[in-house]
Structure 1
Amino acid sequence: GKIVLRIPQPLHPHGTVLITGGTGTLGALTARHLATTHNTRHLLLTSRQGTAAPGATQLADELRNLGADVTIAACDTADRTALTHLLDGIPAEHPLTAVIHCAGTLDDALLTTLGQDQLDHVLRPKVDAAWHLHDLTRHLDLSAFVLFSSVAGVIGNPGQGNYAAANTFLDALAHHRHAHGLPATSLAWGQWQQASGMTGELSEADLARLSRAGIRPMPTDEALALLDAATGTFTEALLVPARLDLKALRARDVEGALPPVLRDLVRATGPVRRTAATARDAAEGPSFAQRLASQSPAERRSSVLELVRTHVAAVLGHASPGAVGATSSFKEIGFDSLSAVELRNRLGAATGQRLPSTLVFDYPTSEALAGHLLEQLAPQGPQDSVSVLGEIDRLESALASVGTDGQDDGTITTRLELLLAKWKEAQNSAARASVADRLQAATPDEVLDFIDNELGVS
């Protein structure tokens, strides 16, 4: 095939720039930026509601005061017929010269509960609209074709499988256009500091979760500067303008929760990461149950409850586990499905247990959850062998120190022999009781089989 070289072009002063989702927060910020910084004079903003959208009239007045000729149109750009009609209405003296696709929506859910309606709700304004924009403008000499994607499609985000898939399509479309010599830039945005329609309803727990994930809010002026830098080149189809918190990424790396695509960013801490991970595993991983084994029943319950409350506090963004009541309902203190998954993942890593995603809903308080984990980690029984083995270990250590001075007058040996005899008698009694129970409940044929197999008599 041929190699196509495209030289970046500035936005044409007499051309029309189409911004989908133009009355939304990011679309409006982009429109103002184009009018003030790029001297764009012809703007076509679309949204589902058009001029009826909140703030649309004020936005139009503001842009006109900046010298722009602006049209706000009600158009479902995912509807090919409606979009065709919109594009046909652009005046010939101000032809379409740039497309900026900002439209999108959220409908979060865990993958196991994601329904067809939620898929359609999120994919349609992103995927269908983007494809129609591409297909209906591919014959035009555009100076820019910008897709507002999301970092969720690059590194993933719990509860946003549909949103991640929609944005990954935009990234792929940008590569597709590049392969055909068409302009395209997909920008996988991180979090903007300016709250948008999609991020404005995030709770404190949601924001804390983003912060722990290593995504920091990006000031608007910085985001718009990155928009200019990204659209001024055609060398990359996909760019990720996001503010990353390297300290938070390192923490996720130590926990083993860092997305593979980000590992090179903290690779310099590799030896530290391995050392820290080893220390963590020794403290909280498979050895957590062993640590419980050396504790009394009361100490075990306290340790597991403290573990649960510590991770609940971290998920909710509290400074200490003291802020989490042992009997407080998870739902009442702000847990949702995403928080539940994060807590499950944290406790699974801390205990070495494979835990269900419904954990928080099955055991709705810290106390109930701690009780369940305690049963998994240190099941109680008439003979608590795990605890007994811990006591034997301590006894063995004590005997080793006493035996070195040769001062045993026989008392310790006698006690040990008596203890061993009692243990053997208890075991034999339990075995005899078990045999008696089996014989009492057995059929004649089973009794004969028992005599043949167990007693060796025939």
Structure 2
Amino acid sequence: MEALAVLGADLPLWSLTRAAMSTGPGDLSLDPAQGHLWGLSRIPGLRGPDSGGGTIDLPAVLDTVTVAQLTRVLATPDGEDEFAVRPSGRHVRRLVRVPWPAAPQDVPPAEGTVLVTGASGAVGRHTALALARAGYGHFLLMTAGGGTSASGALRAELEALGAAVRLDTGDPSDRTALATALAGVDAEAPLSVVVHTGGGAALRNLHELTLDLPLTGFAAFADFAALTGSDPGSWHAAVDVAYAETLVRHRHARGLPATLLACGPLIPDAPAHAHAETKTEAAGEEEGEAETAAEVPSGMREFDPGRALACLPNVLAGSPGPVLGVADVDWAPYLAHATRLSTGALYRDLPEARGHLAEQRESGPDATATQAELRAELRELPEREQGERLAELVRSRVVQVLGHDDSEQFDASRSFLEIGLSSFTALELCNGLHRATGLPLPVAVVYDHPTPVALAGYLRRQLAAGTAA
């Protein structure tokens, strides 16, 4: 992407994978590890705001029909940025509402051992307690990296609920340590459910080492914002979650138990307790449901992990789909944030999003006209005021990418690092300034001109030299 920016080439950048993403039963993926590439493509700012592009998964074997489908996708993507192209047509990714998972009828009592990784963390703790209350009676808790006090307290809580508990301090990302832990499971209560709350390396081990076991449930947790690409937090999170999704879909297509549960931000240290009443949407909760929850800049409100995980026993007994999201979303600010540098195609089937996306299409600025207006405005200003105008442009873009209020002021002589820019937001800043000025702006520009004042000076010099694309 930076090479294209240096060349001034505003072209779509598409990444291709082969047999990475399963579209459902009968469409088997062969290499879910390619999901890492899908994660990179979801990172905000890695594609130019106007250039388009995305990720396309092709089948393992190409035929003329599939090639023709691919050609049509590249010619007219219709604002989509993620495709699985098959001979039967093109498949796209959507976030849709589903009913809250209800307990299936005629399901026998839970048997066997439940393995919970990251059991000393909040998600692991509430997961174990929810399953114990649902009747699961045997637990293997893996607590790598310490947390012995928390895991000991959890053990006491589970035993008070009548469960048998074994603690293991091994790291599930260590294949040998995980194999040893699995070998120690009581033969009288063989492993039946795996719930993973950590990263990709351990998830792969859990998948491969349990393939021959008659599991009834296999669930992994993810961050909702990282799964949707709206605010992944880090490169690592985006890549890990995308791999988790491709692996879960890989298992699901083969008839293996598999669920990825993507949660919104959870209230830290919320008390663990049962929730008899739950919300009936898994794609996001209605506005106003969590009045006491803290609101975060991305439009996602924190909520009680006990409430979020109340659906897990029912999901394990009969999931409505391989990938589920549970989040308390204030859709207006969330969509404004999530669609800053994307078309928002993922949200097109959500009723809450249709109005916002329609407004985005109707009122989206014509980039070329905006750039011409800026250059014309600068020509009418003396040099000092040109610098002030561009400094204000940089300030407004910095405020936007950081998710702050537009009226917020900061010292323009401070470095971007001090102001709070990360590698993610530096990319977003460059893309936003490229959109406004037409200048090719690789992310290195932010590091070569590390303050708003210095960057505004660079923009003025480049515009004066007539290098706008």
TM-score normalised by length of structure 1: 0.64
Counterpart of 1:85 (choices 166, 173, 180) is 180
- 1:12/1:97 contact within 8 Å kept: no
Distance 1:42 1:175 in 2: 27
Structure 1 residues 13 and 227, CA gap change in structure 2 (3 angstroms): closer
Partner amino acid, structure 1, of 2:130: H
Count of aligned residue pairs for this structure pair:
338
- 2:390/2:456 contact within 8 Å kept: yes
Partner amino acid, structure 2, of 1:372: Y
Q: Is 1:343 matched with 2:429? A: yes
- 1:253/1:263 contact within 8 Å kept: no
Distance 1:270 1:76 in 2: 44
Partner of 1:261: 346
Distance 1:253 1:283 in 2: 24
Counterpart of 1:20 (choices 117, 134, 139) is 117
Structure 1 residues 8 and 370, CA gap change in structure 2 (3 angstroms): farther
Deviations 1:149-188 (A, max 9, x none): 3442443756744433333333233233333322221223
Structure number with larger C-alpha Rg = 1
Counterpart of 2:336 (choices 251, 256, 259) is 251
Answer 1 or 2: higher relative contact order, Cα 8 Å, separation at least 6: 2
Q: 1:220, CA displacement in angstroms?
A: 1.7
- 2:348/2:357 contact within 8 Å kept: no
Q: Is 1:307 matched with 2:380? A: no
Partner of 1:130: 206
Counterpart of 2:252 (choices 175, 178, 181) is 178
Q: Is 1:225 matched with 2:314? A: no
Deviations 1:328-368 (A, max 9, x none): 22222333323322322332233333311123221122111
Q: How does 1:130-279 map to 2 (within 5 A)?
A: 130-135=206-211, 138-140=212-214, 142-151=215-224, 152-155=226-229, 157=231, 160-194=234-268, 211=296, 213-252=298-337, 255-265=340-350, 266-278=353-365
Distance 2:161 2:454 in 1: 61
Structure 1 residues 164 and 255, CA gap change in structure 2 (3 angstroms): closer
What SS does the corresponding residue of 1:192 show, helix, strand or coil? coil
Counterpart of 1:48 (choices 144, 153, 159) is 144
Partner of 1:119: none
Structure 1 residues 322 and 238, CA gap change in structure 2 (3 angstroms): closer
Structure 1 residues 321 and 148, CA gap change in structure 2 (3 angstroms): same
Q: 1:82, CA displacement in angstroms?
A: 3.0
Partner amino acid, structure 1, of 2:173: A
Distance 2:338 2:120 in 1: 39
Consecutive unaligned residues in structure 2, runs of 5 or more: 1-24, 27-103, 271-294
TM-score normalised by length of structure 2: 0.63
Consecutive unaligned residues in structure 1, runs of 5 or more: 105-122, 197-209, 381-458
What SS does the corresponding residue of 1:300 show, helix, strand or coil? helix
Deviations 1:258-306 (A, max 9, x none): 443234432334442233213x748844432222223232322221111
Partner amino acid, structure 2, of 1:328: R
Distance 2:196 2:408 in 1: 46
Q: 1:372, CA displacement in angstroms?
A: 0.9
CA RMSD, 1 decimal: 3.3
What SS does the corresponding residue of 1:100 show, helix, strand or coil? strand
Q: Is 1:38 matched with 2:115? A: no
Structure 1 residues 217 and 170, CA gap change in structure 2 (3 angstroms): same
Structure 1 residues 248 and 284, CA gap change in structure 2 (3 angstroms): farther
Partner of 1:73: 168
- 1:312/1:321 contact within 8 Å kept: no
Partner of 1:435: none
Q: Is 1:287 matched with 2:373? A: yes
Structure 1 residues 331 and 225, CA gap change in structure 2 (3 angstroms): same
Partner of 2:39: none
Structure with the higher fraction of residues in strand conformation: 2
What percent of counterpart residues are identical? 34
Structure with the higher fraction of residues in helix conformation: 1
Partner amino acid, structure 2, of 1:97: S
What SS does the corresponding residue of 1:55 show, helix, strand or coil? helix
Structure 1 residues 17 and 361, CA gap change in structure 2 (3 angstroms): same
Q: Is 1:58 matched with 2:153? A: yes
- 1:8/1:232 contact within 8 Å kept: no
Distance 2:429 2:309 in 1: 36
Q: 1:100, CA displacement in angstroms?
A: 0.8
Structure 1 residues 156 and 294, CA gap change in structure 2 (3 angstroms): same
Deviations 1:384-403 (A, max 9, x none): xxxxxxxxxxxxxxxxxxxx
Deviations 1:108-153 (A, max 9, x none): xxxxxxxxxxxxxxx42333x2323432xx331x331112234424
Counterpart of 1:319 (choices 391, 405, 411) is 405
Deviations 1:86-123 (A, max 9, x none): 2232222222221111123xxxxxxxxxxxxxxxxxx4
Q: 1:10, CA displacement in angstroms?
A: 5.1
Distance 2:249 2:408 in 1: 51
Q: 1:30, CA displacement in angstroms?
A: 0.9
